[in-house]
A and B are shown apart, each in its own frame.
Chain A
Amino acid sequence: MRKMLGLTTLIAGLVVASTAQADITVGFVTSLSGPGSSIGIPYGRGIQAAMEYKSEVNGEKIKLIQLDDGSDPSAATRNARKLIEEEKVDLLIGTATTPSTIAMMGVATELKVPFIAVSPLSGQPNPADQWAISVPQPASLLVKVVADRMKRDAMKNIGYIGFSDAWGDLVYNGAKAVEAEDGIKVLTNERYARVDTSVTGQILKVLAVRPDAVLIGGSGTQGALPLLALGERGFKGKTYGTVALVNPDFVRVGGKAAEGIQVSAGPVIVAEQLPDSHFAKKLALEFRAAFLKANNVPTTDGFSAYSFDGWRIFTSAAERALKTAKPGTVEFRKALRDEILATKELSGVHAVYNFKPGAYHGVDERALVIVRLNNGAWTYEP
């Protein structure tokens, strides 16, 4: 009987406690295990850094609940439901893989909870029923910024070589889209598989058109294969790529052949080298400090910065939403959604964000800088 009484008191106490506080609750889902964990773990560290950086809005504390989806879309769906229905979160942030992110977006839209995606989303949302936005730069923008740089460098004829998969298509189509409006011409469309042992044939074909520059549509270590083949054939022109190449193994494998390649990447990659006037400089250094404090390791990636920017978008929208509604209510969720979609000129460490209903992404060319590989280190190339 006494035990029973104690339990009841405890439950009553909990109920009182949870109604008394009006914290803003945020549900965060990432992939701490499974194949997506190599980027899911940085996302998780990024959110810890963000929590370290700002843990309350207008005096309201923020409560963060983090769950692992194991890189599995059905687990992401379950997590999203659990967070909304049991934890009554005001906002969802997630996750590392695109399929899981889309699954979470479905739940968020159904249950009318604002959702900040840290993976790229494609397509166009219905403005009347849009609850999600996406933080990262879309792939088309990555290529456009590189293409603009080629134009500025007065490159006319471009050779293209990339993966024979969706990523290779994405980069090629991006380059082709720029060709239509600008002066550069993409003359080749050579592809190789990720498991290929040699690209000599493709490189000879690329060199046969005598390009001023070569654009690489590969990623990671295997992105260095065309560069090595180009080096072997004594190619003296410029080489370009995208942020998919920014990886320590790429630098190690590519060695001398990769020197001088220019890629488009988020400014946070080269935070220290940015000019003081750059919007991301001060913030990126603050982000690095917060990251070091929260995780005891320095940041080396661009992914954790997406979580951080997602957090900034949320906190700035929450400041405004708090004026009209109390956290934990349906009205607050709606106000938060409207305020997120009304974000104007908010600078983060990756981009300056401008969201509006009818589009997931809200970044422009300012979200990317060109970095060049010099002596094995990425350097800012204004």
Chain B
Amino acid sequence: MTADIAAILAIDGIATGAVYALVAIGTVLIFTVTRVIFIPFGDIAAFTALTLAALDARQLPGTVGLVVVLACMATVMEAVSLARAGELRSVPKAVLGYLVLPLIVVGIVWLTMRFNPPMPVRIVLALLLIMPISPLLDRIVFRPIADASVLLLLTVSVALHFALVGLGLLFFGPEGVRTEPLTSMAIEIAGVHVSGQTVLILTAALVFSGLLFAFFDFTLVGKALRATALNRTGARLMGIRPARAGTIAYLLGSLMAGVSGVLIAPVNTIFYDSGFLLGLKAFVGAIIGGMTSYPGAALGAFGVGLLESFASFQSSTLKDVIVFSLLIPVLLWRSLASQHSEEEVEE
């Protein structure tokens, strides 16, 4: 391997890593706030790509159906649980949050589609359509078992992933899609060709990580989220509702996954079931960060991207084996070096 080849592989690895990093940060965000290891995160990214492709093709995306179905289910569940608790006064507010808001998003998409919007608008529409899915899934699937063990939450999360893949096939069909490139320009850095898309992916990863950092450090909601992540009971005592913090975490996480989906769609063909491997590799990155640290998750994800890139050069057949084998020493080191968290202990 010459220096040239190493440089090309490194750039490619960083671009792939940046996509994983966005998903990994979202995974960590949701895990710390809600204790759910959200396996379907890669699916959310893939669905964004599929939604964008459908919008590009001037079709109403299948996501619309998904959002409407989920919104109706979540509203019914919320109304029933409120009625049981005797809090009928809160029902209109719940209907507003779980039914009206998602339907407004669907309405906006439906109306805007008539005017053949330009590419940036389509991207925003795709992101808007994707954002309600995880919070609604949270309400339907995870809220009723919010106090269960992490293992149970993980099991449910895996089941949810398979359900989503099935729904993806139903709503998007079996064909793969690829969207138009966001930019076709290319630059040369020290004799190495770097495509505009790579620059864009890297920029987006940095910008969104920066925004997240600012959000946690400088806003009240961000601080409330951090408080929930540190200690749910303590946060609740301070008047922070963990359920609401969870919803915000899911919204933010969906945005990250959505952005990575938009960025990867022009680089690679996305199928309804492409999300799993994407989510799994991001998950490996998140594990390297110990599932608690954002910079750790981002670094881990970049590491996975780089490793994958170099591994595919060394032996394309064993590429995934190399990436996933990396987990073993990392897990060993993690479990030996770090203190076990107090989280599982009864508070």
User: Interface on A for B, CB 8 Å cutoff?
Assistant: 35, 38, 164, 190-202, 204-205, 208, 220-222, 224-225, 232-233, 249, 252-253
Contact = CB atoms under 8 A, between A and B. Distances in A.
B195 A202 contact: no
B317 A191 contact: yes
Nearest to A35: B174
A342 B177 CA distance: 46
A220 B269 CA distance: 10
B316 A191 contact: yes
A253 B16 contact: no
A237 B8 CA distance: 20
Contacts of A221: 176-178, 269
Contacts of A193: 277, 320
Given A164-B317, A195-B277, A201 B174 contact: no
B268 interface: yes
B313 A197 contact: no
Interface string B310-347: 11111011011000000000000000000000000000
A202 B312 contact: yes
Given A193-B277, A204-B5, A220-B176, A164 B316 contact: yes
Contacts of B9: 200-201, 204
Interface string B270-284: 010110111000000
Contacts of B313: 201-202, 204-205
Interface string B1-42: 000010011001001100100000000000000000000000
Contact of B316 (A192, A208, A224): A192
B41 to A, nearest CB: 15
Nearest to B12: A200
Interface size class of B (residues with CB under 8 A): 35 or more
29 contacts: A38-B174, A164-B316, A192-B316, A195-B273, A195-B276, A195-B277, A196-B268, A197-B19, A198-B12, A198-B16, A198-B308, A198-B312, A200-B9, A200-B309, A200-B312, A201-B9, A201-B12, A201-B309, A201-B311, A201-B316, A202-B312, A204-B8, A225-B268, A225-B269, A232-B193, A233-B8, A249-B176, A252-B178, A253-B178
A242 to B, nearest CB: 18
Nearest to A164: B317
Nearest to A223: B269
B12 A249 contact: no
Contacts of A225: 268-269
A198 B309 contact: yes
A191 B320 CA distance: 12
Contact of A197 (B193, B264, B314): B264
Contact of A202 (B177, B264, B269, B316): B316
B175 interface: yes
A193 B309 CA distance: 14
A168 to B, nearest CB: 10
Nearest to A201: B312
Listed residue (B9, B12, B267, B278) with the most chain A CB atoms within 10 angstroms of its CB: B12
Contacts of A164: 316-317
A205 B5 CA distance: 9
Interface of B: 5, 8-9, 12, 15-16, 19, 174-178, 193, 195, 264, 267-269, 271, 273-274, 276-278, 308-314, 316-317, 319-320
Q: Which 3 A-B pairs have the closest CB atoms?
A: A201-B312, A201-B313, A200-B12
Contacts of A200: 8-9, 12, 309, 312
A221 B269 CA distance: 7
Nearest to B274: A195
A222 B310 contact: no
Contacts of A198: 12, 15-16, 267-268, 308-309, 312
B16 A197 contact: yes
Nearest to B310: A201
Contacts of A220: 176
A199 B12 CA distance: 9
A35 B271 CA distance: 14
B197 to A, nearest CB: 10
A194 B195 CA distance: 23
A249 B312 CA distance: 26
Given A192-B316, A201-B9, A201-B12, A222 B174 contact: no
Contacts of B312: 192, 198-202
Given A197-B16, A198-B15, 18 more contacts: A190-B316, A193-B277, A197-B264, A197-B268, A198-B16, A198-B268, A198-B309, A198-B312, A200-B309, A201-B12, A201-B308, A201-B310, A201-B313, A202-B313, A204-B313, A205-B313, A222-B269, A224-B269
